[in-house]
Amino acid sequence: MLERLLDDTLDRLEAAIGRVSPALELQEVGTVVEVGGGIARLEGLPGVTAEELVAFDGGGLGIVFNLAPDAIEVMLLDDRPELSAGSRARATGREVDTPVGEALLGRVLDATGRVLDGGDPLGTLERWPVERPAPAILDRAPVTVPLETGIKAIDALIPIGRGQRELIIGDRQTGKTSVAIDAILNQRDKGVICLYCAVGQRGTAVSRVVDTLRDQQALPNTIVLVASDADAPGLRFITPYAAMTMAEYFMARGRDVLVVLDDLTRHARAYRELSLLARRPPGREAFPGDIFYIHSRLLERSTQLVERLGGGSLTALPIIETQGQDMSAYIPTNLISITDGQVYLSPSLFHKGFLPAIEVGRSVSRVGGKTQYPAFRQVAGDLRLAYAQFEELETFSRFATRLDAATRQAIEHGRRVREVLKQPEHRPFSAGEQLVVLKAVNEGLLDGLPLEQIAAAETRLTRGAQQRLPALCAQLDSGEPLEEAQWQQLLEAARAVLGEAAGAAKGGPDGIAGETAGTARDAG
């Protein structure tokens, strides 16, 4: 009985084994010779190609960086202490890729798809290569739609369009990240998907940004991609490319995407570190010769696609940190020439409390003016002119002891414009709010007020306009131009609101008030 059972089982086993035909798989295995500073030198792997992904025993990953006759240099994507000389490595035949999809929205992750927000893992997602070709010329449409940042100084004077690349540049601690985050916050109800990519920053700085996005309800339409200063230089290097890939997924589906790259100075340093370790010849400031190319091929991927391809767009706001306000250093000049303009943040304005510290004279948007809403164009032309004159006059007036009345008035007017352009963090202004206050200051309605009362007057103006002329404000929010009669209606309401406030606070500095009333009447 038992024997029969045994025979039966053996027969079945033999049959099962006969059915199995093991496929032959050839796998090259290399050996690590040396590891250090985020680079590993390997021997073996004769068939490996440039930029191929290499997997190490224990799960670490690296990218082939240098192919020399005697050894292969691999940049590591993670810092694995167990990786040492003698570890084995195998070529994967794949290039580096990153997860893409709707599931990434609201998440904090790194370029390999590891989640960093303590939430559930991502699950199975489509993966796209991090390096993808930039759209061809024929696939690109002109930039025509504004990307509203909600920051008055930018939307009115340095407007940015969807699909544009605008650099945010300034010394350390001048509010660069704040400007970019405020631009992200303003997209909450605009249907623009945002991606904040932090490269080489301290973990605390990144978590502060994540907290802000969460507190301000901007996280659900934002992806936060992080390679901190503690991560391997290889990961810091590929992260901005991965950010572009994640954004391209949405752009390919006809969506508008805003990508903030914070910051490319640290990205360039990660690449310099890798290049020096791989003994590539150093050039200016010890950066390797292809440093221009690594940034240009990254930012070329930002565009407005033609209707035929869905009409999506990818706007890039790369950030660059300067040292001692030196815009002519190597990396800043590269980036200035790659991008379509820059927002310059000045440390001296920052220290004087003119926040955001945007210096209009050194900032430019090379495509933005064409994208501005018609209503903005009706107002901003005058404003830019007045402001430019003011900046010049203010510098000049430091040397002059006595000024004529017209000059003094232009300076006083300019100071009020500058006061109006001040804006606290996390308080984006809608197009309508911006236009109401900008129109009022343009027409000289605020010229009579002492500087410290401008902020209060501004609040009163936006609230008053909304209460008295809601339809007009809605029209301004949509960016449609107003008829002259409508502008007059708006100004009348503004005068009434300011008049009420002045009436309520009788007994202010008389001299200034008298002078102001005069200018306001002249302007009107």
Q: Does the protein bind ligand ATP through residue 174 (CB under 6 A)?
A: yes
Q: Smallest distance, Å, CB 425 to ligand ATP?
A: 4
Choosing among Mg ion, ligand ATP, none, which partner's interface includes residue 173 (Cβ < 5 to 8 Å by kind)? ligand ATP
Phi, psi of 169, rounded to the nearest 5 degrees: -130, 140
| Beta carbons of 143 and 163 less than 8 angstroms apart | yes
Choosing among Mg ion, ligand ATP, none, which partner's interface includes residue 412 (Cβ < 5 to 8 Å by kind)? none
Q: Smallest distance, Å, CB 490 to ligand ATP?
A: 27
Question: Residue 295 is inside which H or E element, if any?
Answer: helix 291-299
Q: Does the protein bind Mg ion through residue 177 (CB under 5 A)?
A: yes
Rounded CA gap, 199 and 179, in Å? 17
Write out the DSSP string of 415-437.
HHHHHHH---TT-PPPHHHHHHH
| Beta carbons of 415 and 354 less than 8 angstroms apart | no
Q: Does the protein bind ligand ATP through residue 186 (CB under 6 A)?
A: no
Choosing among ligand ATP, Mg ion, none, which partner's interface includes residue 212 (Cβ < 5 to 8 Å by kind)? none
Q: Does the protein bind ligand ATP through residue 424 (CB under 6 A)?
A: yes
- Residue from 302, 360, 274, 292 nearest 330 by CA: 292
Size of the site for ligand ATP (CB under 6 A): 14
> Is 11 annotated in some ligand binding site?
no
Comparing CB distances to ligand ATP, the nearer of 72 and 355 is 355
Choosing among ligand ATP, Mg ion, none, which partner's interface includes residue 172 (Cβ < 5 to 8 Å by kind)? ligand ATP
Kindly name the residue from 12, 94, 253, 366 that is annotated as catalytic.
366
| Beta carbons of 318 and 263 less than 8 angstroms apart | yes
| Residue 263, preceding peptide bond in cis (omega within 30° of 0) | yes
> Residue 365: beta bridge partners?
341
Give the contact letters, 134-173, x = binds to ligand ATP (CB under 6 A), - = no.
------------------------------------x-xx
Rounded CA gap, 291 and 273, in Å? 12
Question: Residue 119 is inside which H or E element, if any?
Answer: none
Q: Does the protein bind ligand ATP through residue 458 (CB under 6 A)?
A: no
Choosing among ligand ATP, Mg ion, none, which partner's interface includes residue 239 (Cβ < 5 to 8 Å by kind)? none
Comparing CB distances to Mg ion, the nearer of 77 and 169 is 169
Q: Is 366 in the active site?
A: yes
> Residue 140: beta bridge partners?
305
Comparing CB distances to ligand ATP, the nearer of 183 and 355 is 355
Comparing CB distances to ligand ATP, the nearer of 175 and 444 is 175
Residue partners of 253: CB distance under 8 A and separation at least 6: 310, 312
Enumerate the active-site residues. 366
Binding stretches for ligand ATP (CB under 6 A): 170, 172-178, 321, 355-356, 423-425
